[in-house]
A and B are shown apart, each in its own frame.
Chain A
Amino acid sequence: MIILSSLDLVMAAVLVCLSAALTHVLRLATAGRLMIAATRALVQLLVVGLLLKLLFAQADLLWVAAFAAVMLAIAGYETLARQRRPLTGVWGYGVGTLAMFLSSFTVAVLALTIIVGPSPWYTPRYAIPLLGMLLGNTMTGVAIALDRMTQTAFDQRGVIEARLILGQPWREAISDIRGDSMRAGMIPTINGMAAAGVVSLPGMMTGQILAGSPPLEAVKYQIVILFLIAAGTTFGTVGAVWAASRRLFDPRERLRLDRLRKSPDGD
């Protein structure tokens, strides 16, 4: 494996600076954001790299669990931040985070104990990247699905209430919106699988190949990961939409849009 030097990093950074300069010249007003994002990526990844180095040296279940908990907490925050009208109170953070916890962690533990089988099963070299990929993809799915559901419920309150008025139970009154939202949350995962290897070479596989793994071994890992992600995202999305849609109705099955926060525009 070829080790990258600091100079190699600097050269890549120069390319980012050049693209920032280009966007500045073109007055795209993204130069600042591009530089901030690049700096964030640099700092965050270096910190994670150091932390992982420490973690890998420990191989202690408690530390692995603590690391995973921090990952989950941040994923939960990201999920909340990506919704324009999240649920109010602890529900806004809780529903997405709990759904991600139940799906990603279950799938990760299953994969580690049954499929990959490192010893011990929580070996951080396997556990953390696996959980990271699962969480990252589930997060995208859950965030898209919840955003779609809360926004559509808000826009279509008249339809939902019309269906309640005609005597449909809440489940039926929101069934279309629920289905649409679940579908929206799962589309990135489905598309990712469909395009894998043809349109795009998945990052993990590419990384393993760059690191010197035989291509077929890397491919096998990638297939397993894709399937795990598909399962994790599906469970997470379905669970989050189910719980959030339940929260939109009270025990008398009234539509409770007051349980949604105001959109950033203020309405």
Chain B
Amino acid sequence: MRAVYTAGPRNVLVLGFQFYHVHLVHTFSQHRAGFSVNATTKDRAPLLRVEGLRHDGLQAAAFELKPGDIALISGPSGSGKTRLLRAVADLDAHTGDVWLDDRHYLSFAPSEWRRKVGFLPTESHWWRRDPKTHFNTPPDVEMLARLKLEPAALTRPIAQLSTGERQRLALLRLLENEPEVLLLDEPTGSLDADSETRVEAEVKRYLKARGAAALWVSHDKAQGQRLATKRFIMAAGRLEAR
């Protein structure tokens, strides 16, 4: 009888939040139970939790990221890696649930969510004349140097920058928002080996300093071995842990 009694208010809660997927309350209570029994330090709790994420050919993806995690996703082109990232960033309509620090994504304003869950697309886009005007506080010389960028790159017209330079500047632009989760779509795709190492180091540095986590799409096996704390394979819209 007690069990029925305690289940009552939860069902009421489900009705109260029609936006939420039904199993929100279910998993939420599970998580809380686990948390209270196994009272570990806060940095062991998942930072990002994804459940039953479906969108345009993507099949119910589920995974968790803890602070400091780098989850590497590989898989053939067109298998749905970018679609997964876009769904997590809430750029495309999708079903399923995503939590950041135990807060459901629907309880964030969309712009607030995207600041915290920062997506770096393969191709960067710019709408003003030079990179500098896209920053609130342009990166300093030291930050630029860590990514092997000249200070002059900030004020050159966008069209005169190489794809690789734009990609690294786009990363800096994204980090300015201090996201808690990074969704990186082949962030070193058009970089030489040296720049690639520097971008990897910069992301690692950022994750450590900020207590953030990253979902990293890459085809490079060696990169996976260098970075990954978790690995996934995407095949035909299905995400599987490896």
A161 to B121, CA, bound (A): 10
Contact (Cβ within 8 A) A165 B127: no
* A265 at the B interface (CB under 8 A): no
A170 to B90, CA, bound (A): 13
Contact with A along B87-115 (1 / 0, CB 8 A): 00111110000000000000001111011
Contact (Cβ within 8 A) A167 B125: no
Residues of B with C-beta under 8 A to A254: 90-93, 110
B186 to chain A, nearest CB (A): 16
* B66 at the A interface (CB under 8 A): no
* A169 at the B interface (CB under 8 A): yes
Contact with A along B103-141 (1 / 0, CB 8 A): 000000111101100110101111100000000000000
Q: Which B residues are within 8 Å of any A CB, using their own CB?
A: 89-93, 109-112, 114-115, 118-119, 121, 123-127, 173-174, 177
Contact (Cβ within 8 A) B110 A252: yes
Contact (Cβ within 8 A) B121 A165: yes
A216 to chain B, nearest CB (A): 50
Residues of B with C-beta under 8 A to A161: 91, 121, 125
Chain A residue total in the interface (Cβ 8 A): 19
**Which of B111, B118, B173 is in CB contact (< 8 Å) with A168?**
B111
Residues of B with C-beta under 8 A to A252: 90, 93, 110
Residues of B with C-beta under 8 A to A159: 125-127
B19 to chain A, nearest CB (A): 10
Residues of B with C-beta under 8 A to A176: 127
Which of B90, B93, B114 is the most central at the interface, judged by chain A CB atoms within 10 Å of its CB?
B114
Contact (Cβ within 8 A) B110 A162: no
A139 to chain B, nearest CB (A): 31
Contact (Cβ within 8 A) A165 B114: yes
Which of A161, A164, A252 is the most central at the interface, judged by chain B CB atoms within 10 Å of its CB?
A252
**Which of A156, A165, A255 is in CB contact (< 8 Å) with B89?**
A165
A266 to B75, CA, bound (A): 31
* A217 at the B interface (CB under 8 A): no
* A253 at the B interface (CB under 8 A): yes
Contact (Cβ within 8 A) A167 B177: yes
What are 23 residue pairs bridging A and B, where the CB atoms are less than 8 Å apart in the complex?
A: A158-B123, A159-B126, A162-B124, A162-B126, A162-B127, A163-B127, A164-B91, A164-B110, A164-B111, A165-B91, A165-B114, A165-B118, A165-B121, A166-B114, A166-B173, A166-B174, A167-B115, A176-B127, A252-B110, A253-B110, A253-B111, A254-B92, A254-B93
